[in-house]
Amino acid sequence: MKYIKLFALVAFVTFAYSCKTENSNKDLAYAVESKKDANGFSYETVANDPTGLRLYTLDNGLKVYLSKNSDEPKIQTYIAVRAGSNYDPKESTGLAHYLEHMVFKGTSKIGTIDWEKEKAYLDQISDLYEQHRAESDPDKKLAIYKKIDEVSLEASNYSVANEYDKMTSSLGATGTNAHTWFEETIYKNKIPANELDKWLTLENERFSELVLRLFHTELEAVFEEFNRGQDNDGRKSYAAMLEGLFPNHPYGQQSTIGIAEHLKNPSLVDINNYFDKYYVPNNMAMVLVGDLDFDSTIKKVNETFGTLEKKEVEHPTLPKEEPITSPVVKEVFGPTAESVSIAFRSQGVNTEEEKLMTVADMILANGNAGLIDLNLNQKQAVQYAGCSPTFLNDYGYHSFSGAPKEGQTLDEVKDLLLEQIEKLKKGEFEDWMIEAVVNDLKLSQTQQYENSTALASMYYNAFIHHEDWANKVKFLDDLKKVTKQDVMDFANRFYKDNYVLTYKRKGEDKSIVKVANPGITPVNLNRDKSSQYMQNFNTLESEPLQPKFVDYKEAIKETTMDNGIKVSYIENELNDLFEMNIIFDMGSDHDKKLSLAVGYMEYLGTDKYSAEDIKKEFYKLGIKYYVSSAPDKSYVGLNGLKENLPKGLELLEHLWANAIPDVDAYNSYVDQILKGREDGKTQKSNILYGGLMNYGKYGENSRLRNIMQANELKEINPQTLVDIVKDLKNYKQRVFYYGKDVNAAVAALNTNHIVPSELKDYSEPMVYVEKETGGNVYFVDYDMVQSEMLFLAKGEPFKAENMAASTLFNTYFGGGLSSIVFQEIRESKSLAYSAWSSYSNASKKDDSNYVMAYIGTQANKMPQAVEAMMELMTNMPEAEEQFNAAKEATLKKLAAQRITKSNIFWTYENLKELGIENDNREAMYNTIKEMTMDDLRDFFNSNISGETYNVMVVGNKKDIDFKSLGKLGKVQEMDIDYLFNYEKPEEVKM
């Protein structure tokens, strides 16, 4: 998992009003104030905090972060626990993570239909696992596991799978999930605001106790997650880097997923002890950001979570690391493209080093004008390069990564990265860069603050890392005090030969752990039953939330430029940021050289500016520009600070009109494209969802295959590409603006965007015909532990009237933790970590809908998993209670959904592609209200059952059961170059 550090933080408990006179006004400006609300609850705020945080601490120690955002009637919720893999017992690594899984399984009230009878079996299972762990004889160990499987089947007679998710779904919750990392476990839901009471009631019960039901099937799901990690070269490289950085500390010695041997030998006693030790209110925080009332919300939180019992918590003292004095070298092998990383260990959060490294990182790489951006990416000196910092409680690290271009070695990439660090040490960056960096960070922070999910994430990070929110509110002000000399001094003392060098090489990974199929007996789901708790829960009533629909023609205003070009606009009422798009209704379907041409613009300068200077000028302005081409659309756009829009537009128009072709840049650009193709061939997700899925839909005639091959790319005159981009301005076009002061924006367009009086019509686009599906199995051999399968059936052409039924069907049948597919394949049979099915509506009115299904599983489970999926896709299980819950969930999600800001325009653009001119959610909502199980059955029988599939498979040829695959259709092993059409047909062997 890649950790992205948000500039997030938490509040001072006290503020010394007797501070000396030398304290700056800046510090005084962020004073912490203690207040009481209408109910008498004490809370803290930070002066001049743009997020409006109220930080409460309940009597039992629970921290409660509340912030108001009324953009939509929803609340982003997080329940954060300061407990992660750092604190796993050494003999039980992975414990914190599979505990996270088990917290979804319920309590003695949730998920059971007879607790006393179930508990007797669960106690027996716990004892058996202790015997299993202690036993060393393989045969006896297997016999105990068979007994666990047998008792677990009996226990499942008294359990109800996924009751927790059924209840959160009934609230209309989205994003129900959790994650575990070094120092944290975070539980997530985004709920409609009117369902807060019910959510609090449910979560209070969930965190009141731990019940380890349906354990062996869930542990098998964790094994599948372990396998996915073994198939992920990025994760393996990351783990090797951490191992080098932290030879003693759990950051590098205890992976979150755990080691295979510990996963095979779990202790339910250890899990319960961990829960009892760390899952206590004074080690937890609740974060609520959204459409809430502060006073009533904290009262409700106190009435529920305030009842949890406080306990003393002592986290273990973790080892200290000795300084790294010479490079530590690691190697990782796998099928994906080669890369290299360099990582330096740092101090952790709440240190001066955090501030200095943040500035240094942005000077090195900010996506636009950093040293790495300009010297390596812009000049195409490598395939790609970048860097990012991570700050944890005990330590942090600054990691640099790069991939070689064709013919380049990993050591050459390493040396180029180190050269940029040397430039930083010598101060080879311009004086204005620090101010620009701080402004860039402020821009990103402003965008995060208006997003309830991003802001809530900042709050929980602050809690986990013991960060004072007041310090974080003034964090950017602190960065402004950093000087160029400060950065140079820091760089010279920090970046030495004290790094971990990790080579990701292509080749066989001999450390792979093969996991046997344990042959689990499917447990009972009891989907037609429910606990007394759930029955009572479903009788609780919330104040109804009424949906709101958009009148697009009213919401999207229109004006025109002096030359008659239409400008659609929506006012940004929140801040001074803007986005402007000049839209052309033509794309790569009209001219396949167009996407090549717009990509080439990235590397061009003009008679006035070099390509690097262009990047610097935009960065100074706090403006980003882009030119992009989709199959049927092209965009020339700007976004950033409103006050600099005129200068940004002037600069963009200058580049557009005066770009000068650069032959060397073009040759490097072609090399980069060709190397990107080679690297893309090594990515299994690209093979499955790119090459195989497109071939399954279109056969040989697809957009994916209609590409310019190497010889064509090399023969193009770069001037031709520059002319294509310049000629864009001569075609029919329209503008969308989101921001304040539309008149000023239009005035800037009138001054800078000069076009001919007569604009050209578009040429006819290339047409791609979807082929009929069925009877084909397309297989690609790939070195991996799991196998991944995608089932694809072409349906009827798009019909707006089917959108209601398909939305409800997807909720009930194929998506989410409580869906039929997930329950049957993962919860009952433990045949996959991930399994889903969906009825996918077309994005254009003349295209077809598709029935899709996916399974990711061990190769030795594939035949069983396929059989289970095909049975479901033929005969839909019917559960009236589950249908009603899915219906209620779908309606509540629609009622809480709000289309706002610039999304109004882009949503309308998508609807028009479907031939829809109004907010179709209103018709969907009214239709779903009246739907019955009979209606859903009719939809299934008409659109799902009986379909024949093209089946796409990626897996290790040595492990695949081709006899079983052959039952699905004619098996064809596909050549990757043929799938993507990277080489001439006569050069490719099928």
3-state secondary structure 199-211: HHHHHHHHCCCCC
Q: What is the DSSP letter of 661?
A: -
Which amino acid belongs to residue 354? E
Q: Tell me the HSE value of 253 on the side-chain side, using a 13 A CA sphere.
A: 16
**Following DSSP, what letter does each residue of 516-575 receive, concatenated?**
----PPPPP--TT---HHHHHHHH------------HHHHSEEEE-TT--EEEEEE--S-
For residue 189, list its beta bridge partners: 77
Which two tokens mark 957? 């040829």
Which amino acid belongs to residue 831? L
> How many angstroms separate the CA atoms of 865 and 790, rounded?
12
Tell me what pLDDT residue 984 has. 55
Which two tokens mark 170? 């009934």
Q: Which residues of 522-547 are buried (b: 16+ CB within 10 A; e: fewer)?
A: bbbbbbebbbebbeebbeeebeebeb
Question: Over the stretch 82-110, which tens digit does the pLDDT of each residue have?
Answer: 999 999 998 899 999 999 999 999 999 99
The backbone region for 564, taken as left when phi is positive above 0, alpha when psi lies in -120 to 50, beta otherwise, is left
Q: Across the beta sheet with 384-391, what order do the strands follow?
A: 328-334, 499-506, 339-347, 395-403, 384-391
Question: Over the stretch 310-358, which tens digit does the pLDDT of each residue have?
Answer: 999 999 999 999 999 999 999 999 999 999 999 999 999 999 999 999 9
For residue 970, list its beta bridge partners: 776
> How many angstroms separate the CA atoms of 687 and 682, rounded?
8
Average pLDDT, the chain: 93
Do residues 517 and 861 lie in contact, with contact meaning Cβ atoms separated by under 8 Å? yes
The backbone region for 172, taken as left when phi is positive above 0, alpha when psi lies in -120 to 50, beta otherwise, is left
Q: Across the beta sheet with 950-955, what order do the strands follow?
A: 834-840, 848-858, 786-797, 950-955, 776-781, 970-973
Would you call 734 helix, strand, or coil by DSSP? strand
Q: What is the H or E stretch that residue 26 is in?
A: helix 25-28
Q: What is the DSSP letter of 373?
A: I
Tally the residues of the chain.
990
Which two tokens mark 787? 């196998």
| Tokens 């580049």 -> residue | 655
Tell me what pLDDT residue 12 has. 22
**Following DSSP, what letter does each residue of 785-850 receive, concatenated?**
SEEEEEEEEEEEEP-GGGHHHHHHHIIIIISSTTSHHHIIIIIIT---SEEEEEEEPPSSTTSEEE
Nearest CA to 164 among 136, 133, 188? 188
Number of Cβ within a 10 Å radius of residue 726: 15
> How many angstroms separate the CA atoms of 190 and 173, rounded?
5
- Angstrom CA distances, 576 to 51, 573, 749, stand at 16, 8, 18
The dihedral of CA 675, 377, 642, 459: what is its sign?
positive
Q: What is the pTM of this model?
A: 0.93
> How many angstroms separate the CA atoms of 552 and 546, rounded?
19
Q: What is the DSSP letter of 637?
A: E
Tell me what pLDDT residue 10 has. 27
Q: Tell me the HSE value of 610 on the side-chain side, using a 13 A CA sphere.
A: 9
Q: What angle do CA 105, 107, 110 make, to 5 degrees?
A: 80
> How many angstroms separate the CA atoms of 680 and 569, rounded?
38
Q: Which residues of the chain have pLDDT under 70?
A: 1-28, 984-990
> How many angstroms separate the CA atoms of 525 and 529, rounded?
9
Tell me what pLDDT residue 325 has. 96
Number of Cβ within a 10 Å radius of residue 17: 7
